[in-house]
């Protein structure tokens, strides 16, 4: 594991170090919107995009998708060719499970297929990921799961683990196999050692669960803002945890903390100003914040220098000379400790409303990539960016009844 170098930088000083380049937005594959075998149900009966119905992840040359409208899970090649479909037969009556034969000598199942179909009561599936052995984890939400735990909280989500042939291995709840269901899972991933790491929010902060590959609960920690290390000056700020990302290496969590200054003007009106955000590394093992990774300061942009005669800009922002740019959001930290950030482009017109900027910093804090992602103008919807620990960043957009999956970097 590479040793991390502590760095403390402000992003706007580094933007000029690397020339911004345009994202290739290379088309990986596309799928039709609908209810068929190779279609995804991302639009509801009213024609509105429901972004919560599709989840996607990437691992070792394969994409994994969950479709909560059609109640199915897919593993595809990098070109989008489905290799495995785990489906709910009530939602997909035309799909039939693959028939296997057992070898009379070894009693092992022999499967010869191009596309493998497995039926299982998949119901409103959520996040989907895979480990190094192509085992699949996904969130399932059968109504029968709903239970009240010892603290009076209602849980309705179980994590199902299937092997690479679509056979169920485990049903994992909060405390391990076949225990009480989770309430609402925010994120989950497999670390370098194939431990399953699950993130769940609660009123005071974030819960992190660490499970072995066999579904055993190894550790459960609470990350709360009262544990954030502060300087003497920061004691006067309002502090909150605004984002949490799971690291690739064992026990590593990256926490974004926001520092806000509260003040009152002459009319006794309270004002709030975001001073900066810090990305801190947290250890599941020690249950402590271990080091500062990055400090992000707000950036302002001079509107008058962009296009002083642009009527659309004037309609959007009025007579303001300077406005605050959207804050950078961390996507994740890759296996080489490069840090990936995304920033929504400041909207100048309807043409750039979906565009985003991708920033990549190395472990020493130097900006090494600055990519501008431009989406087609006449699209129905553009997703946020997705990140894999290999450094792959991808996205999708909807156009003319099809979902286009694209590579950003």
Q: Which CATH number fits the domain that encloses residue 202?
A: 2.120.10.30
Task: Print the domain residue range for 188.
Answer: 11-407
Q: Is residue 2 part of a domain?
A: no
Per residue of the chain (409 residues), give pLDDT as tens.
Answer: 444 433 444 444 444 457 889 888 999 999 999 998 899 998 766 767 787 789 999 999 999 999 999 999 999 999 999 999 999 998 887 777 765 556 666 666 555 456 899 999 999 999 999 999 999 999 999 999 999 877 778 889 999 999 999 999 999 999 999 999 999 999 999 999 999 999 998 888 999 999 999 999 999 999 999 999 999 999 999 999 999 999 999 999 999 999 999 876 656 677 788 889 999 999 999 999 999 998 988 887 777 666 555 666 666 666 666 777 778 899 999 999 999 999 987 665 555 568 899 999 988 888 999 999 999 888 989 999 999 999 999 999 999 999 999 999 9
In a domain, 1, yes or no: no
* Helix, strand, coil share of the chain (percent; to 5): 10, 45, 45
Burial 328-367 (b: 16+ CB within 10 A, else e): bbbbbbbeebebbbbbbbbbbeeebebbbbbbbbebebeb
Residue 49 lies in a domain: yes
Residue 139 lies in a domain: yes
Domains identified in the chain, total number = 1
For residue 5, tell me if it sits in a domain: no
Which residue is listed with tokens 């955000």?
277
Identify whether 124 is part of a domain.
Answer: yes
**Domain for residue 45, yes or no?**
yes
Within-domain flag for 295: yes
Distance of alpha carbon 323 from alpha carbon 342, whole angstroms: 19
DSSP category for residue 182 = B
Whether the CA torsion 328, 330, 334, 336 is positive or negative: it is positive
């Amino acid at each position: 594991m590479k040793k991390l170098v502590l760095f403390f930088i402000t992003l706007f000083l580094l933007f000029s170090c690397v020339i911004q380049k345009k994202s290739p937005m290379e088309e990986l594959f596309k799928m039709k919107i609908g209810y068929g075998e190779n279609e995804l149900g991302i639009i509801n009966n009213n024609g509105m995009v429901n972004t919560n119905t599709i989840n996607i992840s990437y691992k070792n040359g394969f994409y994994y998708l969950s479709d909560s409208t059609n109640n199915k899970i897919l593993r595809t090649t990098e070109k989008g060719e489905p290799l495995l479909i785990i489906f709910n037969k009530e939602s997909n009556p035309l799909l039939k499970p693959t028939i296997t034969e057992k070898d009379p000598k070894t009693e092992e199942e022999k499967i010869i297929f191009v596309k493998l179909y497995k039926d299982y009561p998949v119901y409103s599936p959520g996040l989907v990921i895979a480990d190094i052995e192509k085992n699949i984890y996904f969130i399932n939400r059968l109504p029968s799961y709903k239970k009240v735990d010892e603290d009076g909280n209602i849980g309705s989500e179980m994590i199902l683990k299937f092997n690479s042939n679509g056979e169920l291995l485990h049903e994992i709840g909060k405390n391990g196999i076949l225990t009480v269901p989770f309430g609402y899972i925010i994120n989950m991933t497999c670390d370098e050692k194939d431990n399953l790491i699950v993130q769940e929010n609660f009123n005071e902060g974030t819960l992190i669960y660490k499970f072995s590959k066999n579904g055993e609960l190894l550790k459960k920690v609470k990350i709360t803002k009262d544990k954030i290390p502060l300087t003497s000056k920061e004691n006067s700020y309002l502090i909150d945890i605004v984002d949490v990302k799971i690291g690739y290496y064992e026990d590593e969590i990256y926490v974004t903390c926001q520092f806000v200054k509260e003040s009152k003007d002459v009319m006794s009106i309270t004002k709030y100003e975001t001073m900066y955000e810090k990305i801190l590394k947290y250890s599941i093992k020690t249950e402590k914040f271990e080091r500062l990774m990055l400090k992000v300061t707000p950036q302002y942009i001079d509107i008058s220098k962009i296009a002083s005669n642009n009527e659309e800009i004037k309609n959007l922002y009025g007579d303001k000379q300077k406005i605050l740019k959207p804050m950078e959001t961390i996507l994740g930290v890759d296996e080489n400790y490069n840090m990936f950030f995304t920033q929504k482009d400041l909207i100048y017109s309807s043409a750039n409303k979906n565009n985003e900027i991708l920033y990549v910093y190395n472990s020493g804090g130097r900006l090494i990539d600055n990519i501008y992602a431009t989406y087609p103008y006449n699209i129905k919807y553009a997703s946020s960016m997705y990140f894999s620990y290999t450094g792959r960043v991808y996205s999708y957009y909807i156009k003319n009844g099809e979902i286009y999956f694209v590579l950003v970097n």
